[in-house]
Amino acid sequence: MSAMDHSAEIGAAAAGSPLDVIEVASAVLVRNFELLRRRGDRDLDRSEYLLLRTLDAVGPSDICSLAAALGLDPSTAGRQVTVLAGKDLVRRTPAESDRRRSIISPTDDGLARMRAERDRRRQDTAGLLAGWSEDDLGTLGEMFTRYNRAVAQRYLTATAAEGPAPASR
């Protein structure tokens, strides 16, 4: 059975309800994203790319602000910053108001590599979606944004005391 037949079979099996279709389609989507990652010629890994994109969008940030913007624990964001600093893609400078805090900024090389990666990713995505209408592209973008926002609201904006909301069935 071809991959296309397999995808159609999964879709047909899940067609019982919209939530069934979304559940199966999201599992296939994750698999496809992993396939694209493995087959892609990437200069930056996903975490490096997202961290640099975030710094480009929000500007120089301390670790806690950067972690919040990325939906990460500060220790995880700190480890990622350490890796990027070791590659000279970001720099740490002491905060003027509190010399114990570091402000993280992308280096010129970090921004150049992030922008080159963004361009490659956009080109790859454009190739995959070449036959889609502007309306379809807009709808897909809107739906991804809404889905990501729902995940963030449930799992990333809950306070530590609350913990993540329980999964509904």
Given this structure, which CATH class describes domain 46-112? mainly alpha
Confidence (pLDDT) at 15: 62
The one-letter amino acid code at 90 reads: V
What is the Cα–Cα distance from 90 to 126, expressed in whole angstroms? 29
Task: Kindly report the pTM of this predicted structure.
Answer: 0.77
pLDDT (tens digit, 9 = 90+) per residue, 123-163? 989 999 999 999 999 999 999 999 989 988 888 765 433 44
Instruction: Please give the DSSP secondary-structure letter assigned to residue 87.
Output: T
Q: Is 29 left (phi over 0), alpha (psi -120 to 50) or beta?
A: alpha
What is the Cα–Cα distance from 38 to 46, expressed in whole angstroms? 12
Query: What are the residue ranges in the chain where pLDDT is below 50?
Result: 159-169
Torsion sign (Cα): 8, 42, 84, 106: negative
Q: Where are the domains of the chain?
A: 1-39, 46-112, 129-159
Contact 61, 55 (CB under 8 A): yes
